A and B are shown apart, each in its own frame.
Chain A
């Protein structure tokens, strides 16, 4: 792979297969997925429940490893890395946003957002980190809630905390697994708009999974998945 290709494609999946063993039964979750995602893309992975969206995102997010196939992130093969190296990759280059927010309940907004940076072997000085965290929180509309714990926030506010936590490490990729599934339609619109704005302003690559057709209208690219296979790539859907 040339330097030009490497810089253009942040993610390259080749013939990714993922099988789960349920007792003696083998359940195929992904059946030979090939996918490239370029830097700065705002991609939506669409498909019905059980189609393999979450499995695909888990593999892209290095939370799970494929049964076979290769996965290159930023030009580097990552599917055979050990736990700590993958943890390092997730910490520095990948931000993940979950459907159910997944905040740490004993930490307040600021502490939740700064948490990934503090878990590094070489954490940045707390003073400058705090400054960045506060600025980012204000940027995503959490200014008045900095000292609130997750159980004192609404669903939309919690998802904003999750977005800020995903972005604080200056990741190259942000994955969002059905980020609006637990939100009302108005809040969903706001969250999608926020992510779109951050994608445009910061140039961060976003990959969503959703089965909500309303989200599609914001995507620059839509990947349809069904039965563990990519059935349609549409890079031309206008935002």
Chain B
């Protein structure tokens, strides 16, 4: 059997059904929207994170010490790209694969037109193991693995500024580590677009590692090793282990370190969500405060009656706080159920989110954690109690004789 105060609170919530229903609906809507938006954002952020880690940075990266801090990543700061060095990396527990890269700048030339561009040289086979999402970013043409050794993938901006179409030939002109100019022809075989993320530099190109090593006269060398882990969440844990294994002349960075703008973007999204959720919840809780105040005013005589039979102030306070919490919790549970169902449904089927100026729409799988649901339910119940605190204190502070003489 329910404790007497809980029983009375429960029945009082049902007593003025229309008013309770309005308050309940406000809480229900607020929590439904909060859970849905949180689930959607979780999916969006996971997609962005995966897009970065599995399509761009890898979970960890190795550079020559000082490379990341240098203003212009220099070709002087090279690291080995041979099998022995890569094996040293993959021998660390938790590492799945490693691939070498060279980042360099140069001029692309075609049809008597030149454009300055940033190029990334990648191992066409290993790169797809470390960053499998690279493949999804080819939205027209072929990837480097399926192309000739002198193929290149270009961003739409670079291709259009050169005025070339897929299959056409162009030239890269750049200087090697000694400052000696060199040029090589390449075939434009694929067009690159990154889903969900603005490209840091719009004129970009990808070429095979061997092609770049020949162009830059850097055989057996690279500027970066990108690393895939079995679980990319282990990046922070494995980073010092790998650093220890490689020694002080190298620096190991996590994807957080090299793509800090992602964390900033996620933090901004979370801030905006919390702000919106806060406004929704605040409005709902105002409704609860109003409901409880009306209830106290209507039930003044009843409060006097309770006091006359010896109910203590704290029990009166508890009763009204319980009623508010019940309202908040009931609305919250239904809101969480409906919002949770939305998240579950789209978490299973996925939702496509077209992004303006992005060639590939984002495929988002919303998720929500049980701890968030519990947190938000406690917030609804606790917030409701807090909103009802003043009316409840007012009820408990009444003088019995005045409460009894209320009409």
Chain A residues near B (Cβ < 8 Å): 58, 61, 63-64, 83-84, 87-92, 96, 98, 102-107, 111, 115-116, 118-120, 126, 165, 169
Asked if B311 and A102 make an inter-chain contact with CB atoms under 8 angstroms apart, the answer reads no
For B11, the chain A residues whose CB sits under 8 A away are 106-107
- Nearest-CB residue, chain A, relative to B9: A106
Provide 11 A-B residue pairs closer than 8 Å at the C-beta atoms, listed in order of the A residue. A63-B307, A88-B310, A89-B310, A90-B308, A98-B404, A105-B15, A111-B4, A116-B310, A118-B4, A119-B309, A119-B312
15 further interface pairs, Cβ-Cβ under 8 Å (given A63-B400, A104-B302, A119-B306): A63-B308, A63-B401, A63-B404, A83-B313, A91-B311, A92-B310, A98-B308, A103-B305, A105-B302, A106-B8, A106-B15, A107-B7, A111-B4, A116-B309, A119-B309
For A115, the chain B residues whose CB sits under 8 A away are 4, 309
Which one, A87, A92, A106, A118, contacts B307 given CB within 8 A?
A87
Separation in Å of the A118 CB from the closest CB of chain B? 4
Separation in Å of the B401 CB from the closest CB of chain A? 4
- Nearest-CB residue, chain B, relative to A88: B310
B1 close to A (CB within 8 Å): yes
B301 close to A (CB within 8 Å): yes
**How many angstroms between the C-alpha atoms of A64 and B399 in the bound complex?**
8
Asked if A96 and B8 make an inter-chain contact with CB atoms under 8 angstroms apart, the answer reads no
Which one, B15, B304, B312, B400, contacts A84 given CB within 8 A?
B312
Within 8 A of A (CB), among B11-35: 11-12, 15
Which one, B1, B301, B302, B308, contacts A61 given CB within 8 A?
B308
Report the interface size class on chain B.
20 to 34
- Nearest-CB residue, chain A, relative to B314: A84
For B307, the chain A residues whose CB sits under 8 A away are 63, 87, 90
**How many angstroms between the C-alpha atoms of A129 and B4 in the bound complex?**
13
For A92, the chain B residues whose CB sits under 8 A away are 310
B315 close to A (CB within 8 Å): yes
Asked if A106 and B12 make an inter-chain contact with CB atoms under 8 angstroms apart, the answer reads yes
Chain B residues near A (Cβ < 8 Å): 1, 4, 7-8, 11-12, 15, 301-302, 304-313, 315, 399-401, 404
For A165, the chain B residues whose CB sits under 8 A away are 309
Separation in Å of the A31 CB from the closest CB of chain B? 18
Asked if A107 and B8 make an inter-chain contact with CB atoms under 8 angstroms apart, the answer reads yes
- Nearest-CB residue, chain B, relative to A149: B11
For A111, the chain B residues whose CB sits under 8 A away are 4, 7
Asked if B400 and A64 make an inter-chain contact with CB atoms under 8 angstroms apart, the answer reads yes
For B7, the chain A residues whose CB sits under 8 A away are 107, 111
- Nearest-CB residue, chain B, relative to A107: B8
- Asked whether A91 and B309 contact (CB < 8 A) given A63-B401, A126-B1, the answer is yes
Which one, A58, A61, A90, A119, contacts B315 given CB within 8 A?
A119
Separation in Å of the B404 CB from the closest CB of chain A? 7
Asked if B301 and A102 make an inter-chain contact with CB atoms under 8 angstroms apart, the answer reads yes
- Nearest-CB residue, chain B, relative to A118: B4
Asked if A102 and B404 make an inter-chain contact with CB atoms under 8 angstroms apart, the answer reads yes
Separation in Å of the A164 CB from the closest CB of chain B? 12
For B304, the chain A residues whose CB sits under 8 A away are 102
- Nearest-CB residue, chain B, relative to A59: B401
**How many angstroms between the C-alpha atoms of A106 and B311 in the bound complex?**
16
**How many angstroms between the C-alpha atoms of A96 and B1 in the bound complex?**
27
Separation in Å of the B9 CB from the closest CB of chain A? 9
For B400, the chain A residues whose CB sits under 8 A away are 63-64
Asked if A119 and B8 make an inter-chain contact with CB atoms under 8 angstroms apart, the answer reads no
**How many angstroms between the C-alpha atoms of A88 and B313 in the bound complex?**
11
Asked if A102 and B305 make an inter-chain contact with CB atoms under 8 angstroms apart, the answer reads yes
For A107, the chain B residues whose CB sits under 8 A away are 7-8, 11
For A106, the chain B residues whose CB sits under 8 A away are 8, 11-12, 15
Separation in Å of the B301 CB from the closest CB of chain A? 7
**How many angstroms between the C-alpha atoms of A107 and B306 in the bound complex?**
12
Q: Which 3 A-B pairs have the closest CB atoms?
A: A91-B310, A106-B11, A64-B401
Asked if A119 and B311 make an inter-chain contact with CB atoms under 8 angstroms apart, the answer reads yes
- Nearest-CB residue, chain B, relative to A90: B310
- Nearest-CB residue, chain B, relative to A126: B1
**How many angstroms between the C-alpha atoms of A92 and B176 in the bound complex?**
98
Separation in Å of the A167 CB from the closest CB of chain B? 12
**How many angstroms between the C-alpha atoms of A64 and B312 in the bound complex?**
15
Separation in Å of the B134 CB from the closest CB of chain A? 66
Asked if A87 and B310 make an inter-chain contact with CB atoms under 8 angstroms apart, the answer reads yes
For B310, the chain A residues whose CB sits under 8 A away are 87-92, 116, 119-120, 169
Asked if B401 and A87 make an inter-chain contact with CB atoms under 8 angstroms apart, the answer reads no
Separation in Å of the A105 CB from the closest CB of chain B? 7
**How many angstroms between the C-alpha atoms of A102 and B307 in the bound complex?**
11
Which one, B4, B12, B301, contacts A119 given CB within 8 A?
B4
Separation in Å of the B1 CB from the closest CB of chain A? 7
